[in-house]
């Protein structure tokens, strides 16, 4: 028997990167997967990959910063599959790379609206369904930036710190109903997104690209970045019965970054 046979998992931001890998590993382990994000094209591509694994996938175009979209996301999941067992709050944006005094309110607000308010709205929509079922899993995908200060990235860091607080709060509010809530803090993750982050940081600092990139792994025990699959495997563990006694926890997947 696979770890997630019969389960239904909603993965926000499921078209790219970590979200895509989580959707694939969940599908491989028997879950029906709901993929939600603002842009439909990448979701369709991920859904096709999930289907190749023999799993069912539902694509929903949704903006998690909008209350109505989060409510519809959960409603459509239950309408299609009859339940909602797992919610992965992965949708997020990097935001600007600039000093706080150079940042517009709209730039700050957009990051918080998607990264933390979106996680809160999606969780709020899913919790009543999970309570009725008597069980459920909520996973927050935070960041190493949720463990320390992050100069030039103030809204991103603030939103990722807040996800840890939301994790602990929801775990204590809903633990007696059978809902477990945990958080993953990936470090620098190999892929296109971290390359964009590094280039933006190098430009903002007026520093060489190679120097900035080295700083992303300099404090890691393994002296490397992690992979999307390595993060997804921890997400699988936390959604499985192997983690039945784990809730309210934040787990780093960062190659042993001593700064976290």
Closest CA to 90 of 4, 208, 24, 10: 10
Work out the angle at residue 85's Cα, subtended by the Cα atoms of residues 168 and 250, and round it to the nearest 5 degrees.
25
The helix/strand count (H/E) of the chain reads as 9, 7
DSSP code per residue over 15-78: TSHHHHHHHHHHHHTT-EEEEEES-HHHHHHHHHHHHHTT--EEEEE--TTSHHHHHHHHHHHH
The CA distance from 198 to 42, in Å, is 23
Q: Would you call 156 a catalytic residue per the annotation?
A: yes
Closest CA to 225 of 189, 253, 194, 259: 189
Beta bridge pairs of residue 122: none
Q: How many CB atoms lie within 10 A of CB 131?
A: 15
**The one catalytic residue among 16, 26, 156, 209:** 156
170-177: Cβ within 8 A, 24+ apart: 170/123, 170/127, 170/138, 171/247, 171/248, 172/248, 174/127, 174/130, 174/131, 175/247, 175/248, 177/130, 177/131, 177/134, 177/136
Give the catalytic positions in this structure.
156
């Amino acid at each position: 028997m696979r770890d997630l046979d019969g389960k239904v998992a909603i993965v926000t931001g499921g078209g790219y990167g970590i979200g895509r890998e989580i959707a694939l590993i969940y599908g491989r382990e028997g879950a029906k997967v709901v993929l939600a994000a603002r842009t439909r094209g990448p979701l369709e591509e991920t859904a096709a990959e999930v289907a190749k694994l023999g799993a069912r996938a539902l694509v929903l175009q949704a903006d998690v910063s909008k209350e109505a979209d989060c409510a519809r996301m959960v409603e459509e999941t239950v309408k299609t599959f009859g339940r909602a067992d797992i919610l992965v709050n992965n949708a997020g944006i990097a935001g600007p790379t600039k000093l706080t005094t150079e940042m517009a309110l709209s730039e700050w607000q957009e990051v918080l609206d998607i990264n933390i308010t979106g996680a809160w709205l999606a969780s709020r929509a899913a919790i009543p369904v999970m309570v009725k079922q008597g069980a459920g899993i909520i996973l927050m995908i935070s960041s190493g930036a949720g463990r320390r200060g992050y100069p030039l990235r103030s809204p991103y860091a603030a939103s990722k710190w807040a996800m840890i607080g939301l994790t602990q709060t929801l775990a204590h509010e809903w633990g007696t109903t059978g809902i477990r809530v945990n958080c993953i803090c990936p470090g620098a993750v190999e892929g296109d997104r971290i390359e964009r982050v590094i280039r933006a940081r190098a430009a903002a600092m007026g520093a060489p690209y190679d120097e900035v990139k080295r700083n992303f792994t300099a404090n890691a025990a393994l002296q490397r970045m992690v992979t999307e699959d390595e993060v997804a495997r921890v997400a699988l563990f936390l959604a499985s019965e192997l983690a039945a006694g784990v809730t309210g926890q934040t787990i780093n997947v960062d190659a042993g970054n001593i700064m976290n």
